Amino acid sequence: MQRSEQLRALLEPAVERLGYELADLELRLGGRHGLLRLTIDCPAGVGLDDCERVSHAVSALLDVDDPIPGQYNLEVSSPGLDRRLAKPEHFDRFAGSELRLRLRALRDGRRRLRGRLLRREADEICVLVDGSEWRLPLSEIEEARLVPDWNSVKPGASRQTG
């Protein structure tokens, strides 16, 4: 089991007990300081107080277990409008949304795609790209992010400040 998977197994239950989803976990080690970045979400949205609450709980847990060697910074944030889709269920939740995709390898001469997420079927997604439906195994996707619909964003309508 990779270190990031071990961290997810350790931290996800604690985050869920606080009423949040651990939407993403990113671990970068090396250099002077490493970075552990947690992205949390909940139906009501995520604000600065939410991030602080999770940060304190996770920090205490990490101090006890000490699963990361050396020095690192802990960062807890909201998904943001251009959120990363990191779990298969994220693709279910955001069906119909515009996506930016980066593939692990070239496919039909392209590594970067932009299109509308149609659906997820088991371990692959269907995306409408330039009028054609692409079926992409999740294992071939290096990164998937939502493309914000700036026309639907209303000033002051979101609590997302973290």
pLDDT score of 73 more than 90: yes
Closest C-alpha to 81, from 160, 151, 157: 160
Q: Are residues 70 and 94 in the same domain?
A: no
**Mind listing the pLDDT tens digit for each residue in 147-162?**
998 877 666 655 444 4
In a domain, 93, yes or no: yes
Of 9 and 30, which is predicted with more confidence? 9
pLDDT score of 74 more than 70: yes
Q: Range of 8's domain?
A: 3-77
Whole-Å CA distances, 17 to 14, 40, 45, 126: 5, 12, 17, 33
Of 153 and 17, which is predicted with more confidence? 17
Q: Are residues 71 and 36 in the same domain?
A: yes
pLDDT score of 70 more than 50: yes
| CATH for 134 | 2.30.30.180
The pLDDT value given to residue 61: 93
Domain count within the chain: 2
Q: Are residues 101 and 41 in the same domain?
A: no
Closest C-alpha to 35, from 1, 82, 80, 68: 68
Band of pLDDT at residue 136, cut at 50, 70 and 90 = very high
In a domain, 46, yes or no: yes
The continuous run of DSSP H or E covering 9 comes out as helix 3-17
Q: Are residues 65 and 96 in the same domain?
A: no
In a domain, 113, yes or no: yes
What is the total residue count of the chain?
162
